[in-house]
Chains A and B, each alone.
Chain A
């Protein structure tokens, strides 16, 4: 069980979607992806729910026709999602966003007692709120219990090797100060060959296919 948290637009959902698909491709038969974004409903898994389900994932997320106001009228936790941790197989939680978003975990049945739930903070150093080692450290310290960090540094369509490796250095340094591991550096498929299986700090590289650009609203 893994929960991905982090700053608004840090890449939580992209990392979570790709992680769930990776597990599926590794042969895990039951992988459930849970949309727990009740802070910002504009970029969520909702628009790609059917596509991901057709790829073999179980996706617990609202459908557009079930919602009104897209956040304007408040958001509620989907009943099925509240019990997600009771399911069999791998559970990947996409939790948005920030410190308030991380508190969504309090609404999840069994989250406090679950020893196998690993909460991972996704960090993009091109996001001004997490753009220095000290900013990352104080950001992660606000988040409650965290298992590790992921370096997801990128510039959208303008992503290059430099920003990823800069991110690797900065996130690794922050992780060292926090006493936490860097779980991985995520890299879009197009740049994976340039970086190799490990980033410049020796952290393992996870490939990313971008799904989220097609999910606005």
Chain B
């Protein structure tokens, strides 16, 4: 894989799904495992068109359970591997993702959220936040990046591989049907040209030498015999996760620590929230903006500071309070009043956010 995928920095015009395929290619991902589902299909379509040209591989599995488990297997063999899914596929994938949590496998999963419950619409929502951050049987030992535009889809697809392989927690790029299908321009680059070094991959199994003689034997487990064994292992995982959290937590904000009302939103809805806040501030309103980029872990200290300074927090999302629940847990005991604009499965415009802010100021 000596050749550079992107020779020089270039402005291009693409759909979000293509951006993910190119981002994975630029990140030197070696293999994608996948099963088709709207609205993530073109990630697979473009990966399968691009992969042969660049010596990469693809395996179409029989379902999302299998796509998740083969991604786990690819990672254990030391491959920079990823998968992508949406909606009901994300539901099925929680089982292999839980296994990845249990075995600390650096899988990368791209989620293009669609409407729910169940099959619902194939189009758009922000209703996979709970599932992606805390799904499966386990404790949510994952990193979830919520992107808002095509540049971020490219940047965070690359970053997801590095976060996963550095900290060894399953890592997600969480977008949605609108970002998947929307067309906008972005700058594609070779990560090395930006000083981004790809964290090297390493095989979990099949290493050289005799186990127990030349090296530590590999013993990778997702099953424990007694409760105390599991408890001890998890204590170590929690300590690692908590140590990692301040290093990976990301957010963007506008005057969030000096405004009476702070609008909080993530992903594509954050674009509307930001536009609304900028308009309102120009018109003299005392309003700020806070957008978590990592939904798991959240930037808890910064959120708590905002929630102790602001009088009101308005949470805006295309779900019935999935971001809101995460935020409330993070800022429990803080003084700000929590208000909402929830439109589950439906897009939200800057005008709607503005109108809601004017109601509550």
Tell me the chain A residues, 117-138 only, with Cβ under 8 Å from chain B.
124, 126-129, 131
The docked-state distance in angstroms from the alpha carbon of A131 to that of B177 is: 26
B116 to chain A, nearest CB (A): 14
Mask of B148-182 contacts with A, CB within 8 angstroms, 1/0: 00000000000000000000000000000110011
Inter-chain CA distance A131–B11, complex, in Å, is 11
From B12-20, B90-98, B239-247, B303-311, the one touching the partner chain is B12-20
A43 touches B181 (CB 8 A): yes
Q: How far is the CA of A158 from the CA of B184 in the complex (A)?
A: 8
Q: How far is the CA of A158 from the CA of B15 in the complex (A)?
A: 15
Task: Determine if A161 is an interface residue (Cβ-Cβ < 8 Å).
Answer: no
Q: How far is the CA of A49 from the CA of B11 in the complex (A)?
A: 32
A71/B38 in contact, CB under 8 A: yes
Given known contacts A69-B122, A70-B122, A42 and B39 CB-to-CB distance under 8 angstroms? yes
One of A103-111, A149-157, A173-181, A200-208 contacting the partner: A149-157
Query: Which residue from A69, A71, A129, A216 sits with its C-beta under 8 Å from B182?
Result: A216
A124 to B18, CA, bound (A): 15
Q: Which of B14-32 contact A (CB under 8 A)?
A: 14-15, 18, 22
Chain B positions within 8 Å of A128 at CB level: 12, 14, 18, 22, 188
- Name the residue on B nearest A212 (C-beta): B183
CB A40 to nearest CB in B, in angstroms, measures 8
CB of B123 within 8 A of chain A?
A: yes
Residue A8 lies at the interface, judged by CB distance under 8 Å to chain B: yes
Beta-carbon nearest neighbor of B13 in chain A: A126
| Cross-chain contact B185 with A158 (CB below 8 angstroms) | yes
Q: Which of A69, A70, A127 contacts B14 (CB 8 A)?
A: A127
User: Is the CB–CB distance between B184 and A157 below 8 Å?
Assistant: yes
Alpha-carbon gap, A9 to B19, bound state (A): 13
State which size class the interface on A falls in. Answer: 20 to 34
Q: Which of A179-217 contact B (CB under 8 A)?
A: 216-217
CB-based contact A158/B183 at 8 Å: no
Q: How many residues of B contact A (CB 8 A)?
A: 25
Structural contact, B124 and A124, CB atoms closer than 8 A: no
Q: Does A72 contact B (CB under 8 A)?
A: yes
Q: Nearest chain-A residue to B21 (Cβ)?
A: A128
Known: A9-B13, A216-B178. A126 touches B185 (CB 8 A): yes
Give bound CA distance, A158 to B149, whole Å. Answer: 14
Q: Report the Cα distance A57→B119, complex, angstroms.
A: 36
Chain B residues, Cβ within 8 Å of A124: 13
In the assembled complex, the CB of B56 is this many whole angstroms from the nearest CB of chain A, namely 15
Bound: A126/B13 CA distance, A? 5
Task: Report the bound CA distance from A170 to B294 in whole Å.
Answer: 41
| 7 tightest Cβ-Cβ pairs between the two chains A and B | A126-B13, A155-B185, A72-B122, A158-B185, A42-B181, A72-B38, A155-B13
Name 28 A/B residue pairs within 8 A (Cβ), A-sorted.
Answer: A8-B18, A9-B14, A9-B15, A9-B18, A9-B183, A42-B39, A69-B122, A70-B38, A72-B37, A72-B119, A72-B122, A124-B13, A126-B12, A127-B12, A127-B14, A128-B12, A128-B18, A128-B188, A131-B12, A155-B12, A155-B13, A156-B13, A156-B183, A157-B184, A163-B11, A216-B178, A217-B177, A217-B181
Please list the residues of chain A having a beta carbon within 8 angstroms of any beta carbon in chain B.
Answer: 8-9, 42-43, 69-72, 124, 126-129, 131, 154-158, 163, 216-217
Chain B interface (Cβ within 8 Å of chain A)? 10-15, 18, 22, 37-39, 42, 49, 119, 122-124, 177-178, 181-185, 188
